[in-house]
Amino acid sequence: MADDVLRAQAAMTAGPAPVTTTVEKVTGTPARTFRSWADAHTHLFQPSS
């Protein structure tokens, strides 16, 4: 079983995952990158003044 898990994990590093429309189907909004999300929410991570 351990070999199967390691093989599966190795296969995940072969390249990016396929792009799907699942996020948009579930949320009604297209997916975006983490960078895009972080840029839009930077203010939430700034110290309060």
Q: Measured between alpha carbons, how far is 33 from 31 in angstroms, rounded to an integer?
A: 7
First to last CA, the chain: 53
pTM recorded for the entire structure: 0.48
* Residue 4, both tokens: 């199967």
User: Residue 13 carries which DSSP code?
Assistant: T
pLDDT of res. 28: 97
User: Residue 18 carries which DSSP code?
Assistant: P
Residue labelled with tokens 């590093």: 13
pLDDT tops 90 at residue 15: no
Q: Mapping DSSP to helix (H, G, I), strand (E, B) and coil, where does residue 33 land?
A: coil
| Percent of the residues in the chain that have a pLDDT greater than 90, as a whole number | 67
pLDDT of res. 49: 67
